[in-house]
Amino acid sequence: MFYALALVCAIAAFYQLLAIVAALDHRRRRPRSSAPEGVSILKPIRGADPGFYDAIRSHAVQNYPEFEILFGLRDPADAARPDIERLIAEFPSVAIRLIVCTQDAPNAKVGTLMPREEHNEILRTALSEIPNRPGRRQDRVRVVFEGGFCEQPPLDMLQLIEEACYIVDDDLLIGMRWIVDDVAETGDPLQALAESYLEHSTYSPVQHDDRKPKEEMLLRRFEEASAQAVILAAAKMCEPGLDEQVAYQKTLEQKKIPFLLLDFEEKMTAFERMRMEVETFVESILFD
């Protein structure tokens, strides 16, 4: 018995030694950058407080090899503009840009840093490069998330789902992206807006439109996103949302589409049980 136990301990120790050697070798082989990467300093600005110029000047004189400073203003006549232009004149060798963006954006502060058209062009370029990026494919499942009926799910809940899944479509903040096509700029603007709201809009469980059966619209989103599964979530005590789950569940079962039912609370803080449910669901799809 003693020799058997000693043999097991020796094998375990030898395995640990091999793991340490492999880790040290991997660390030694890993390429290291010879110089720090360039950084962008983003400064959405509105108004100028006492000492504003000294504050922004401290960014320009910092000791860092490569950086740029982007100032964003919403109002072209903002009181901070003269100080920013003075900074640009004082430091011509520093990459400093002043961006004036008067367009509305969901995040008004961030929206001042880049015109919408420029942001969309960068996004299109980034999306086109995704298939060419290096890296190992991760074991995740592409899912459509449906769960914003009564209230938005907790952020921690969404984060734990994203640890195991790619959320390729969702109904979160659907009201901020309700109209799916450009509104006509000719004719009566109110008529054009009403037509877009009715005829060129997405769907929602809170909207009763016979032309947009919610079950069929969910299936369409599932197909267009090339998803592998659906996660249906509803807030506890939200009876309409729970009723929607029943209708969705019946349709998904008929189409033999994998789905997971989750419920959450407004001030939910414990997510371990839900994490286990999501991980088990993902594994059942990956290793089916």
234-272 per-position pLDDT tens digit: 888 777 777 788 889 999 999 999 999 998 887 888 889
Taking CA atoms, 41 is separated from 36, 96, 232, in Å, by 15, 9, 39
CATH code linked to domain 138-178+205-286: 3.40.50.11900
Name the packing angle between helices 239-255 and 214-224 (round to 10°). Answer: 60
pTM: 0.56
Q: Is 284 left (phi over 0), alpha (psi -120 to 50) or beta?
A: alpha
pLDDT at 38: 85
pLDDT at 135: 61
- The segment(s) of the chain belonging to CATH 3.40.50.11900 are 138-178+205-286
pLDDT at 227: 93
pLDDT at 30: 52
pLDDT at 239: 78
- The segment(s) of the chain belonging to CATH 3.40.1260 are 39-124
Low-confidence ranges of the chain (pLDDT < 70): 1-35, 104-112, 134-138, 205-206, 288
Instruction: Give the span between the Cα atoms of 100 and 70, in whole angstroms.
Output: 11
Q: Are 282 and 165 in contact (CB under 8 A)?
A: yes
Instruction: Give the span between the Cα atoms of 119 and 113, in whole angstroms.
Output: 10
Taking CA atoms, 75 is separated from 17, 50, 80, 109, 243, in Å, by 63, 19, 10, 12, 47
- Indicate the residue type of 4: A
pLDDT at 234: 85
Token pair for 21: 């050697």
pLDDT at 8: 47
CATH code linked to domain 39-124: 3.40.1260
